[in-house]
Amino acid sequence: MNTLAARAAVLTEFESPFFVGQIELREPGPGQLVVRTTEAPFCSTDWMGWRGMRRKTPPVVLGHTAVGVVEHLGPGVEGLTPGTRVLVAGTPQCGSCFYCGIGRPDQCSVLLDGSDPVVASLDSGGGRLDVRAAGRVGAYADRMLVERIQVHPLPDELPDSLACLLGCGVSTALGAVFTIADVQPRQSVAVLGLGHLGLWAVQGARLAGAGRIVAIDGHPGRRAIAESLGATDLVDAHRGDPVAAVQALTEGRGADVVIEAAGPALASRQAVLMARRAGTVVLTGVAHSATEVELPQLQLTVHGKKVVGCQNGQITPSVDLPRWTGMLASGELDASPFVTRRYSLDEIDTVVRRSLALDDITGVLVP
């Protein structure tokens, strides 16, 4: 099989420094292409993968979305040419599986019914090892071998520094606000957890016309950013009971919509409790692939609360990504607080530490 050299940050052991060096990409097969990576964001999903919390199998290249330029096309790839700037999204849309057929491409079988694909090999000194691509992307490399069904052309007016944010926090948060919760003008929205996803959700709630936006986090810097993006009320999650605080701000009822973007099982429980009767709760966080959540039955039955999961905002990529792209390009979405720093591939161990320490909203790798 023909190969193509790439330089990548490879996770060879959980919670260990990355190997940064050459791998050999496989030749693109039918429906595949090679994209030269220009920018790729780092988020909590990636350090969870680094810690062994997301069912990844080393050796693996992490990174589940990126922006780049098409270099090589495999057989049958249409609508793209070498040199095209593209977004590589972590959620594919095959259009032919059961879930795409019922209008739920966020559950596309290509992504969720299989394991991460082998896309490359690595010389370990004792032989060659197969290397997988996390989320079918493997963004932390200067080249990616990906499927056409997860690649989207980008307009010239949207720079890489903004476009790289689309396939993760932007799509998940805006999908949670507009698609899943369908936030209406004057509704109250509580956002629990103010990482990059929660901060995008604050913006989404403002754009939807929410009357009260309660931003909840224990990090004072994150609360300040949320206020600058449209939050009307700030709650310190480390002082007092955040559920009681939200109820006090909503005439004792609880919020019309609660978007949980924190991760721990406790946050999922609190999100359900701080929603009003017949309210909507959108759960986006995953602490660990094996985490279980205990919820009070009365809240789900008699109180009629709607609790919905959120895989990448339940987006339909072909429809929603152009919409979010336009909002970023026009400035309707303010991306200025999100990219904290840019890093070279050799600095990936620093990126992990800074993300874990909450020093970055979004660190961006520039391979």
Q: Where are the domains of the chain?
A: 3-165+338-365, 170-311
170-311: CATH topology is Rossmann fold (3.40.50)
Does residue 89 contact residue 171 with C-beta atoms inside 8 Å?
yes
Q: With a threshold of 0.75, does the pTM exceed it?
A: yes
Token output for 186: 């004057």
Residue 346 confidence (pLDDT): 97
What count of other Cβ atoms lies within 10 Å of the Cβ of residue 73?
Answer: 18
Does domain 3-165+338-365 sit in CATH 1.10.8.420? no
3-class secondary structure, 14: coil
Record the tokens describing residue 27, joined without a space.
Answer: 């030749």
Give the pLDDT confidence score for residue 3 in this predicted structure.
67
| Token duo for residue 349 | 């161990």
The token pair at 365 is 């790798």
**3-state class of 277 per DSSP?**
strand
DSSP element (H, E) containing 246: helix 242-249
User: CATH topology of 3-165+338-365 equal to that of 170-311?
Assistant: no
- Could you say which residues of the chain have pLDDT below 50? 1
- 291 contacts 265 by C-beta, under 8 angstroms: yes
pLDDT of residue 291: 83
Report pLDDT for 1. Answer: 46
